[in-house]
């Protein structure tokens, strides 16, 4: 199944991104494939925070684990809805999610 994630830019415009859920990809990999400005320097290991996002609307079904919390503690701009996109697997539950890329 394909899902649609919306990426909100700094001006408030939302850009749809259709992604497959059957390839075991992370949101970071999907954002990179969609050519959004996500570095993913560490390759998705929760070691760099260059895929830092803020979830604006919707819910992410998995909770941050210790490695993600440790990395989020180092980012300059942290919100209560901050996540690392590399730690969010693409699942059907993410359909309609709205995120803002913060990066690092």
What digits encode the pLDDT tens for the residues 55-93?
999 999 999 999 999 999 999 999 999 999 999 999 999
In the chain, the number of structural domains is 1
pLDDT at 14 over 90: yes
Token readout for 73 is: 């503690």
pLDDT band at 104 (very low <50, low <70, confident <90, very high): low
What digits encode the pLDDT tens for the residues 19-63?
999 999 999 999 999 999 999 999 999 999 999 999 999 999 999
**Three-state secondary structure readout of 3-25:** EEEEEECCCCCEEEEEEECCCCC
CATH number at residue 96: 3.10.20.30
Domain that residue 47 falls in: 2-101
């Amino acid at each position: 199944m394909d899902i649609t994630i919306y990426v909100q830019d700094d001006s408030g415009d939302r850009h749809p991104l259709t992604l497959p859920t059957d390839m075991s990809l992370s949101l970071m990999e999907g954002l990179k494939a969609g050519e959004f400005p996500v570095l993913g320097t560490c390759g998705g290991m929760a070691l760099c925070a260059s895929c830092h996002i803020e979830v604006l609307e919707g819910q992410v079904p998995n909770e941050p684990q210790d490695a993600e919390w440790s990395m989020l503690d180092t980012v300059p701009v942290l919100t209560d809805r901050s996540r690392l996109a590399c730690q969010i697997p693409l699942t059907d539950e993410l359909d309609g999610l709205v995120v803002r890329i913060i990066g690092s």
